[in-house]
Structures are given as structure tokens and as C-alpha cells.
Amino acid sequence: MAKTSPGDFVNQVKTEASKIVWPTRRETWMTTIMVLIMTSLLGLFFFGIDTFFGTIVRWLLSLATAQG
């Protein structure tokens, strides 16, 4: 493996850093809004699933205690 001198390394880093394309302010806001919408929907979905299964478990436990 060839060794890279510190100067070559810094030049390579500068070259790669110049290729970075930052999102626009509008793209950042749109992405933020989409993330908030998706996390809210997933939160509601998992809340519903948790409530559903919690109800089933409570019902099954009430059956088990009524028998004993």
C-alpha cells in the first residue's frame, strides 16, 4: 500500500470537500416537514397497535383470572 504524505492527504480532503453539494433552504424545510409527518404517522400507528394488543392482553388476563 502506498503511503500518502500529509500534504497530499490535505489536498485530497480539499478536493473531496469541494464536491459537497449542500441542500437549499427550501429543500431543508421540505425534508424537515416530511420527517415530522412520517414520525407522527408512525407514532400514531404504533400507539394504535400497542393499544390494540394491550386490550387483547387485558382481555386474556381477565379470562384467566375469572376461571381461577
Give a yes or no: residue 32 inside a domain. yes
Give a yes or no: residue 68 inside a domain. yes
Give a yes or no: residue 39 inside a domain. yes
**Would you state the pLDDT for residue 68?**
56
Give a yes or no: residue 7 inside a domain. no
pLDDT per residue as tens digits for the range 5-57: 999 999 999 999 999 999 999 999 999 999 999 999 999 999 999 999 999 99
Domain count, the chain: 1
**Would you state the pLDDT for residue 52?**
98
In Å, how far are 27, 33, 50 from 39, measured between CA atoms?
A: 18, 10, 16
Give a yes or no: residue 36 inside a domain. yes
Domain around 52: 24-68
Give a yes or no: residue 31 inside a domain. yes
Q: Please report the DSSP string for the chain in residue order.
A: -----HHHHHHHHHHHHTT--PPPHHHHHHHHHHHHHHHHHHHHHHHHHHHHHHHHHHHHHHHHHHH-
